[in-house]
Structure 1
């Protein structure tokens, strides 16, 4: 009955630590990682987490088996994609999974099949030469902020 973050192939230990810190800030209690994710006990992860490693539960498991056991119409699975639906125009629920994908390749095909809602953070850049994508830690912060804003205003 809560919002949880799911990490699919996050390779950079600094990104893992940053995501731990962001989740701690937004009150996310649980992070579920696949076995392709960097180790949270890597010194770079520990440092980037700024202590959040001790306050957020992290589980490494097989996501393809795990996600379907919990998702339903009241507990959806949101996935982050460059071509998803604009997060600022969506009716977001206050519980479910939010899947964040690999820094270079995004969410794997096997996990994509389990996603109920594809979401994206729209770019507001006006140049053809603007940044192609966001860092996964930054994107996690923006997405959690929007989910919590919706929850806060209910």
Structure 2
């Protein structure tokens, strides 16, 4: 059984201020918790139903016994931010924030002012899908450890390094080419596959700021065949990565 204080603490981590204060966050979802354990992420405690714990006993054997808590559906509902809770959730330590400038021969996804947790989670999944090892987020991006973001990553948070850094400074301190997604750039289908560079994706409503766009070495555009005014930021990133990296 969990104490009222333990339940209250887990619930408090829905709030960004509390996550930052404790340097801990929660991840909800059967598959997500499984992938975090498989990746060796710093899992402090797993809260799960008896059936889930038994099905994943091998993975859980790596954790101390007091880091595995059997709870029933009613308790998971108290802990969860979801209308319909999953069978497992985990408490994790936030990785140490390490800012690493992109190295030659690598591709980095740089995000400016992404605000929607679902979009952020999808962008992390896209980076994972295309083998992009690092995402750089501007300080005004949505919190990466927002529970909705973590869930939207579907476990990809375990395989992509994420840091917070001023995008203008990033561009000032790298010699890598940069590719700014805009509505008025060069047709992306004319570009060859790239092996290094920084792909820049901007805010869902405003796109990239003019300062960032002006600093980019390339301004790229996805050809528009219909009448839509713009593309969702994550959708655009997926198309751009699919064209530039494959």
TM-score (norm 2): 0.56
Whether 2:221 is the aligned partner of 1:120: answer yes
Provide the residue aligned with 1:36 in structure 2. 140
Deviations along 1:42-101, whole A, 9 cap, x unmatched? Answer: 111111100011110011011211222112xxx201100001110001235320101001
Provide the residue aligned with 1:109 in structure 2. 210
Provide the residue aligned with 2:234 in structure 1. 137
Write the distance in 2 (CA, Å) between the matches of 1:139 and 1:103. 10
Provide the residue aligned with 1:59 in structure 2. 163
Q: Equivalent residue of 1:113, what SS?
A: helix
Which runs of no fewer than 5 residues in structure 2 stay unpaired? 1-104
Write the distance in 1 (CA, Å) between the matches of 2:169 and 2:244. 25
TM-score (norm 1): 0.88
Write the distance in 2 (CA, Å) between the matches of 1:50 and 1:84. 32
Equivalences, count: 142
Are 2:171 and 2:216, in contact at CA under 8 Å, matched by a contact in 1? Answer: no
Shift of 1:18: 0.2
Structure with greater contact order relative to length (CA < 8 Å, sep ≥ 6): 1
Q: Equivalent residue of 1:38, what SS?
A: coil
